[in-house]
Amino acid sequence: MPADPSAIATWANLVTVGRMFVSPLMFIVIPDHGAGSWLAFATWFVLCASDGIDGFLARRHGSTNFGAFLDPLADKFLVLVAMVTLIDRHVFWWLPVVIIFARELTMSLYRVFVGTRGVSVPASRLAKWKTTAQQFAVGFAIAPLTAADATWLWKSVLWLSVALTMISFFQYMWKAHVSNASSRTANAS
């Protein structure tokens, strides 16, 4: 039986909320040195994989408005908690993380603003790639096999995620501009 779109208590939403509550564990399990940790990597892998689980549950049982809002927020929270922790551990440079944080905050505020007008802004395919690149950047930075011996890898993926972050942001803003221009033209007719 499909979920009521206005429902809050669904299995998919439960997984998403659980992911948000477990995310702060990243502060604890990411080590103080840049050598990586299997525990941190395993925790990261489970948290990232749970995003696929809640997506599967939402597709199978029906998505909800609450889930459509909460899932991207949980993704942002998860990535930013890990990235800020990596800044604190002197692994990530603050500049790419600040760029990502500013974009994510702006998009979240934009979604809330247009949501009050009944407009939904679903994640684009490029935004999903952006999230995946961010997750891989963190994963490579904390995996023992790549953390210290392949810094070029996670630094490259981090900057790729910054590029995708900004391109997807401008994509959303362009679509909003075109949509506003179309509605003004339609209203003028």
Query: What topology does CATH give the domain 11-181?
Result: Four Helix Bundle (Hemerythrin (Met), subunit A) (1.20.120)
User: Domains of the chain: which residue ranges?
Assistant: 11-181
129-158 CB burial, b ≥16 within 10 A, e <16: ebbbbbbbbbbbbbbeebbeeeeebbbebb
Q: Under a CB-based contact definition with an 8 Å cutoff, are residues 137 and 157 in contact?
A: yes
pTM, two decimal places: 0.85
- Note the pLDDT of residue 158: 97
Question: pLDDT 10s per residue in the chain (189 long)?
Answer: 566 666 667 777 888 888 888 888 888 898 887 778 999 999 999 988 888 887 777 778 777 777 777 787 888 889 999 999 999 999 999 999 999 999 999 988 888 888 787 777 777 889 889 999 999 999 999 999 999 889 999 999 999 999 999 999 999 888 877 777 666 666 666
Collapse the DSSP code of 111 into the 3-class scheme (helix H, G, I; strand E, B; otherwise coil) and give the result. Answer: helix
Q: Under a CB-based contact definition with an 8 Å cutoff, are residues 19 and 47 in contact?
A: yes
Which of the 8 DSSP states describes residue 33? S
- Note the pLDDT of residue 135: 95
Amino acid at 160: L
- Note the pLDDT of residue 23: 84
- Note the pLDDT of residue 108: 84
Nearest to 10 by CA among 60, 84, 85: 60
- Note the pLDDT of residue 7: 62
Query: Other C-beta atoms within 10 Å of 23: how many?
Result: 19
